[in-house]
Amino acid sequence: MSLGYVGVLTVRLEMPWVGNLKEKRAMVRPVVERLKSRFPLTVARLDGLDAHDWEVIGVATLSNDYGWVQETLKMAADYIASEGEYTVVSESVEITVIGDEEDEE
């Protein structure tokens, strides 16, 4: 029996019309900060930090309820897609089982 689940969502955003890093950060950073405050998540800007036209955001959460992890990541993905002036070109979800009560003996 599992002790819990770790869910990770990665989202690649593209904004080819953006001309500089400052403009991109002004679009992406508020979404990242609002995700952190509205949902029980850890959020980070993972890749593309030096590129002005794309970025990858990572989102993680942990729970003992698989359905809750799945639903929370879905809400986060929907929020990211609806909040910014960018295009979501890919997203992936990975949910990993952690712990096993038999391992503790």
Which of 70, 101, 80, 103 lies closest to 1, judged by CA? 101
**Statement: residue 84 has pLDDT above 90:** no
* pLDDT given for residue 85 in this prediction: 87
CA–CA dist 16, 63 (Å, integer): 37
Average pLDDT over residues 48-75: 95
Report the predicted TM-score, pTM, of the whole model to 2 decimal places. 0.87
Is residue 14 scored above 70 in pLDDT?
yes
The per-residue pLDDT for 105 is 45
